[in-house]
């Protein structure tokens, strides 16, 4: 069976927006299933569930076109596949930062996905204060005559980080990337508070667990 990536070679053969979106939707289902199984495995063997919420989505055509324009690229299926990495996206929300790294280790150790890039915005936050853990992976999609490797972006963050990121997202689109300086400053300060809160909650949880169970 011939193995390909979602690349120029495949696009020239498909040359069809709907076909490419079908591949991304299939990759999203594959990755979501793998994460759901990991979640069940934690619950079954460890009696502990590190995942609070899982959300998945396919980027809308409007969002794809806007992002291509922001990056200085023409709107085409070819450019969409080449330059946009978050067309298929999964967001995992955890209770503690330790859960994020534990889950990341389990995902990166799998041999049925390929890790394309890792960005740790928790240890190295963005200038805005944004904190999250990003994995860009490639998932093999099996069709009747070929294997097409398709990209999925996975974001893993704590509940507090997700709350902050939601507000930053609203601010970005409200002001089209040009928020008043005092609002940006206060949001960065909130990011520091979120980081301190996550650290404190992790410490408390570790201390609680150290007591063990009592009869």
Return d(Cα 35, Cα 95) in angstroms, integer. 16
Q: Using 50, 70 and 90 to split pLDDT, how confident is the model at 177?
A: confident
pLDDT at 97: 96
84 or 175: which leads in pLDDT: 84
In this structure, how many other beta carbons lie within 10 angstroms of the beta carbon of residue 203? 11
Q: Using 50, 70 and 90 to split pLDDT, how confident is the model at 33?
A: very high
- 30 vs 46, 52, 61, CA distance in Å? 24, 20, 22
Q: What percent of the chain stands above pLDDT 90?
A: 68
180 or 7: which leads in pLDDT: 180
- What is the rounded average pLDDT of the residues 155-163? 97
Q: Is the pLDDT of residue 211 over 90?
A: no
pLDDT tens, residue by residue, 66-110: 899 989 999 888 899 999 999 999 999 999 999 999 999 999 999
Q: Using 50, 70 and 90 to split pLDDT, how confident is the model at 153?
A: very high
Angle between helix 17-41 and 97-108 (nearest 10): 110
| Mean of per-residue pLDDT scores for the chain | 89
| The domain defined by 2-160 carries CATH number 3.30.460.10 | yes
Q: Is 62 a catalytic residue?
A: no
CB 123 within 8 A of CB 161: no
Return d(Cα 50, Cα 157) in angstroms, integer. 11
Q: Is the pLDDT of residue 5 over 60?
A: no
> One of 41, 153, 176, 186 is an active-site residue; which one?
153
Q: Using 50, 70 and 90 to split pLDDT, how confident is the model at 15?
A: low
Task: Supply angle C-alpha 191, 51, 158, rounded to 5.
Answer: 5
């Amino acid at each position: 069976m011939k193995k390909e990536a979602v690349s120029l070679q495949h696009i020239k053969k498909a040359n069809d927006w709907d076909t490419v979106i079908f591949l991304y939707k299939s990759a999203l289902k594959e990755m979501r299933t793998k994460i759901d199984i990991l979640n069940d495995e934690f619950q079954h063997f460890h009696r502990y569930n590190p995942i609070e919420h899982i959300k998945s989505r396919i980027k809308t055509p409007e969002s794809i076109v806007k992002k291509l324009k922001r990056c200085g690229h023409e709107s085409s299926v070819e450019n969409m596949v080449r330059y946009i990495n978050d067309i298929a996206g999964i967001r995992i929300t955890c209770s503690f930062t330790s859960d994020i790294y534990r889950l990341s280790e389990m995902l990166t150790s799998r041999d049925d996905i390929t890790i394309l890039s890792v960005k740790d915005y928790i240890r190295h936050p963005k200038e805005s204060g944004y904190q999250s853990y990003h994995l860009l992976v490639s998932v093999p999609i099996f069709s009747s005559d070929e294997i097409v490797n398709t990209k999925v972006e996975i974001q893993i963050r704590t509940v507090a980080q997700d709350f902050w990121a939601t507000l930053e997202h609203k601010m970005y689109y409200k002001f089209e990337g040009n928020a008043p300086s005092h609002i940006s400053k206060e949001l960065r300060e909130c990011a520091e508070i979120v980081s301190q809160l996550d650290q404190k909650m992790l410490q408390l949880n570790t201390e609680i667990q150290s007591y063990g169970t009592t009869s």
